[in-house]
Amino acid sequence: MSARTPRGKGTMGSRKHRGLEGLRSLVMAAALLAAAPLGLAAQGAAAAQASPAASAPAAAPSPADRFQALFDRTGDEGKLVARFVKMSLVTESEEKSGDCAILTSPEGLVMLVDAGAPECAEQVERCLDAMGVARLDAIMASHPHVDHIGGFARLLEKYSVGRLYTSRLEYPTAVFRGFMAAVKAKGIEVIYLEEGSAFSFGERVRAEVLNPEPEIRYYEGYPKNGTQFVNDRSLVVKFAYGASSMLFMGDVYTPREAELVAKYGERLKADLVKVGHHGADTSSSKGFARAVSPKLAVMMHDNLASLQVYKNWRKVGSAAYVTCIDGSVKVAGDEAGNWSVLTQSDRQSDFLP
């Protein structure tokens, strides 16, 4: 499918107006046309003509929801596919639902990259069940913050898991300790990754690890005030399948991005980027966006974290998606470098280009 699904346009039929009633309908239609939201004006006018006594425009039709189509695995064979899961927290706190992406290899292996906040595990489970997943061939924990690993504990109770990819970064929290205890109790193989590591995802997808550094040196008092320290030790992994590639940035900040650009240069280029730190302005500098120059950029967040970051990706020619606006997003690349995109929802305005 195309990267954007065209929004539907309303239609307004014509009818003859006579006498006072006809004039009243025309006046009401004009008022509704002036007041109706963008894209709904024609519908509102039609409703007013049909019912002269109406005091408000007709309700807008429900937005399209392509959940079932998006999590249907038909047609995935022979492609590297990533499904970026829309999650949400029903809370007034400023906590994030976090990141979660479901990767499938050309042969059909399944890897879960992060699992969102603990409260979002049921939402992830719904997606996996819709795909017919009974076993996770691998899971990856990009870093130990709760909005990335919190959902794993519940998911490990239901799904068998082949192996865990993670870094050696220690993090003394109950959520992290509980996660690692569950991994040990289930007998899941743990493979520690660092800059220079590489592994295969099936027979035809190669993964290269660009971050974190092999020897992590902790500062005195860690982890107090350690948000950036932890985020900058996120796994940064580039998946390559023939001429198609995906770059997963974890939550790294702009200073670490600059280090990666200086170190890797052209090797950072990828067709798809999972945008760092949920699209916040701590990350995604203009220089980094130019270095990666992806066709597609996906941000997972409960809100649009930064309009400027969104624009940074658009300015380098990327089609940019945000799960809070587009819903879950499915991207699929074949061995020749051809990509398709399916969003769960249509955009309801033209606010974002």
The amino acid sitting at 310 is Y
What is the rounded CA–CA span in Å between residue 287 and residue 310? 14
| 39 phi-psi bin (left φ>0, alpha ψ -120 to 50, beta other) | left
pTM score? 0.82
Per-residue model confidence as pLDDT tens digits over 1-44: 434 433 333 333 333 333 433 333 333 333 333 333 323 233 33
Per-residue model confidence as pLDDT tens digits over 211-259: 999 999 999 999 999 999 999 999 999 999 999 999 999 999 999 999 9
Q: Is residue 119 pLDDT above 90, yes or no?
A: yes
What is the rounded CA–CA span in Å between residue 249 and residue 268? 11
Q: At what angle do helices 19-35 and 41-50 cross, to 10 degrees?
A: 160
Strand blocks (E) in the chain:
80-84, 101-104, 110-113, 135-136, 138-140, 160-161, 163-166, 189-192, 198-201, 205-211, 236-241, 244-248, 272-274, 296-299, 319-322, 329-333, 339-343
User: What local confidence, expressed as pLDDT, does residue 92 receive?
Assistant: 59
- What mean pLDDT is predicted for residues 304-327? 95
For residues 114, 328, 66, 121, the Cα torsion angle rounded to the nearest 10 degrees is: 40
User: What local confidence, expressed as pLDDT, does residue 32 receive?
Assistant: 32
Work out the percent of the chain whose per-residue pLDDT is above 70: 81
Per the CB < 8 A criterion, the answer to whether 314 and 68 are in contact is no
Q: Is residue 73 pLDDT above 90, yes or no?
A: yes
Confidence of residue 62 (pLDDT cuts 50, 70, 90): low
